Structure 1
C-alpha cells in the first residue's frame, strides 16, 4: 500500500503544480479573459467532490492533492471575476 500512496502523492503533486503557472500569469498580467468561467466553476465543483471522496475513504494523497488544487482553482475563479 505504501507504493500506491507514493504514486498517488507524485501524481497529485504533478497535476496540482500544473495550475501554478496559470495562477501566476493571471496575477502578473491582471488579465483572465481567455479563462473559461464555466469550465473552472464545474472543475472546482468536481475537485470539491474528489476532496470529500478522499476524506470519506481516508486517502491522504487524494485529500492533499485535491485540497491544494481546489485552492488554486478557486484562486483562478476569483481572478476571473476580479479582472473581468
Structure 2
C-alpha cells in the first residue's frame, strides 16, 4: 500500500511537467523559464534519485528519474530556442 501511494503521488507530480514540455516545444519559447531555478531543481531531483537508489525505493527511483529527464529536456529546449533566436527574443 505504501508503494502504491508513492507511485501514485510520483506519477501525478511527474506528469505535471509534460504540459510544460509540450508548451515549450509548440511555442518554440522558454523565455520565462529560469536557469537558476531549474539548476537547483535538477540538483534536488538528482539527490532524491540517489536517495531512492540508496534505500531501494522503487517509487522514488522511477519518478525522480523521469522528472530528471523532463527537467533536463526543459532546460535543453530553453537553450536551443534562445540560441536560435537570441537571448532577448521570446
TM superposition score normalised by structure 1: 0.96
* TM superposition score normalised by structure 2: 0.89
Query: How far off its partner does 1:80 sit?
Result: 1.2
Larger radius of gyration: 2
C-alpha displacement of 1:56: 0.2
Segments of structure 1 that go 5 or more residues without pairing to the other structure are none
Following TM superposition, where does structure 1 have runs of at least 4 consecutive aligned residues deviating by more than 4 angstroms?
Answer: none
Q: State the 1:41 CA deviation.
A: 1.1
The equivalent position to 1:28 in structure 2, one of 12, 26, 29, is 26
Tell me the C-alpha RMSD between the 2 structures: 0.5
Where do residues 73-84 of structure 1 align in structure 2 (5 Å cutoff)? Answer: 73-84=71-82
2:58 corresponding residue in structure 1: 60
- Partners of 1:46 and 1:54 lie apart in 2 by 12
Helix, strand or coil at the partner of 2:25 = helix
Size of the alignment, in residue pairs? 82
SS at match of 1:48: helix
